[in-house]
């Protein structure tokens, strides 16, 4: 109970009401000595007295006990970033124990549970064994189900459905993901084409700033979706070289036109990596190395400033504010150290086994390693 600050709260609340221990004791039907023991942490009131005490001070029982089941957005952001940094520096199980204690403390704070689910999803691969990794993913999924069943925030529930779908993919439950998302994300539905309706409404209402901001963010998010979809498209058509080459030509032009290598290097790097894998599969060594160089350039851009996710430019000048308003306040979901280690692992994937001894491949690998020495 000391952790809940009950005794300190009692003293503060009594002083705010300007009453003595005798007066409070008389109202509660107990002795002055009982009140004194409550305030000096020698004893606690009977549980049946808590509603009466809370009513007297016109507060909730949670407030009386000092229990805070809800966290503010900035508090959640800080806890997430602290835990993310801790995962990079400390034993996995030690950090997991911290997160599990926090879940128990804030079990009714659904936005916090969402971020813990995302945290576990972003770090489960650090667990020692595949069995333990699956246990962490199942725990994350359990939190998602709690949010979906108990939260009344439709937006948070929808985000949680998508987060849980990503978790299920990691667990290999593709059928469950299809069953959950196939209708929700049906591109034929009006909801998939609704951005322009809100933009027109802003314009009609004379809200030019909102129309401008939302339009720019919509354009930018669709660009990122296109890059992500093209990355998957290369994987789907990996054996069809002509389709892959056409996809690469078109996407490289778009990435260049919108400066995505520096504006959003994370998405561009994933595209270049998949393109390099595709070219290597077809024994196109010069193209493979050229694409891997672009990949290393993008990774380098990610670590040029403190912001891994996005860099403002003269055209997309409202997107940074959008990132800052997100749940993580524009901070990356994983620490720089873990992100960099993941980027380096790309050179070790089996797809590049045939060129591991190539001098240019080795040079690119070493040049990327140098970029991470300061982390």
Query: pLDDT per residue over 169-226, tens digit each?
Result: 999 999 999 999 998 888 888 777 788 999 999 999 999 999 999 999 999 999 999 9
Mean pLDDT of 154-160: 94
Q: How confident is the model at residue 91 (pLDDT cuts 50, 70, 90)?
A: very high
Higher confidence at residue 249 or residue 337? 249
Percent of the chain surpassing pLDDT 70: 94
Q: How confident is the model at residue 1 (pLDDT cuts 50, 70, 90)?
A: very low
What does the H/E/C string look like for the chain? CHHHCHHHHHHHHHHHHCCCHHHHHHHHCCCHHHHHHHHCCCCCCCHHHHHHHHHHHCCCHHHHHCCCCCCCHHHHHHHHHHHHHHHHHCCHHHHHHHHHHHHHHCCCCHHHHHHHHHHHHHHHHHCCCHHHHHHHHHHHHHHHHHHHHHCCCHHHHHHHHHHHHHHHHHCCCHHHHHHHHCCCCCCCCHHHHCHHHHHHHHHHCCCHHHHHHHHHHHHHHHHHHHHHHHHHHHHHCCCCHHHHHHHHHHHHHHHHHCCHHHHCHHHHHHHHHHHHHHHHHCCCHHHHHHHHHHHHHHHHHHCCCCCCCCCCCCCCCCHHHHHHCCCCCCCCCCCHHHHHHHHHHHHHCHHHHHHCCCHHHHHHHHHHHHHCCCC
Given a cut of 70, is residue 99 above it in pLDDT? yes
Looking at residue 302, its pLDDT comes to 85
Given a cut of 70, is residue 306 above it in pLDDT? no
Higher confidence at residue 373 or residue 210? 210
């Amino acid at each position: 109970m000391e952790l809940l600050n009950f005794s300190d709260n009692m003293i503060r609340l009594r002083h705010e009401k300007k009453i003595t221990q005798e007066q409070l004791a008389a109202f509660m039907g107990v002795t002055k000595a009982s009140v004194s023991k409550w305030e000096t942490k020698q004893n606690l009131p009977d549980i049946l007295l808590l509603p009466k005490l809370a009513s007297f001070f016109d507060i909730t029982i949670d407030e009386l006990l000092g229990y805070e089941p809800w966290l503010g957005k900035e508090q959640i952001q800080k806890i997430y970033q602290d835990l993310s940094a801790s995962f990079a520096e400390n034993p996995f199980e030690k950090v997991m124990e911290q997160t599990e204690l926090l879940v128990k403390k804030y079990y009714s704070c659904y936005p916090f549970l969402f971020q813990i689910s995302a945290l576990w999803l972003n770090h489960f691969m650090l667990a020692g064994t595949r069995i333990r990794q699956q246990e962490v993913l199942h725990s994350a999924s359990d939190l998602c189900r709690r949010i979906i069943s108990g939260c009344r925030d439709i937006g948070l529930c929808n985000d949680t459905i998508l987060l849980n779908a990503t978790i299920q993919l990691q667990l290999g439950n593709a059928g469950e993901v299809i069953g959950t998302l196939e209708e929700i994300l049906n591109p034929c539905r009006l909801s998939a084409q609704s951005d322009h309706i809100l933009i027109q409404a802003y314009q009609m209402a004379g809200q030019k700033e909102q129309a401008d901001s939302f339009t720019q963010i919509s354009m930018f998010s669709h660009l990122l979706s296109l890059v992500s979809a093209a990355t998957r498209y290369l994987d789907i058509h990996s054996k069809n070289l002509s389709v892959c080459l056409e996809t690469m030509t078109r996407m490289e032009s778009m990435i260049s036109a919108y400066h995505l290598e520096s504006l959003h290097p994370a998405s561009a790097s994933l595209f270049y990596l998949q393109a390099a894998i595709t070219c290597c599969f077809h024994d196109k060594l010069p193209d493979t190395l050229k694409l891997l160089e672009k990949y290393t350039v993008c990774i380098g851009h990610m670590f040029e400033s403190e912001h891994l996710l996005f860099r403002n430019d003269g055209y997309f000048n409202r997107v940074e504010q959008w990132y800052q308003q997100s749940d993580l306040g524009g901070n990356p979901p994983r620490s720089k150290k873990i992100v960099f280690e993941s980027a380096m692992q790309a050179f070790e994937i089996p797809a590049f086994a045939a060129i591991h001894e190539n001098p240019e491949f080795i040079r690119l690998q070493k040049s990327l390693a140098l970029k991470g020495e300061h982390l």
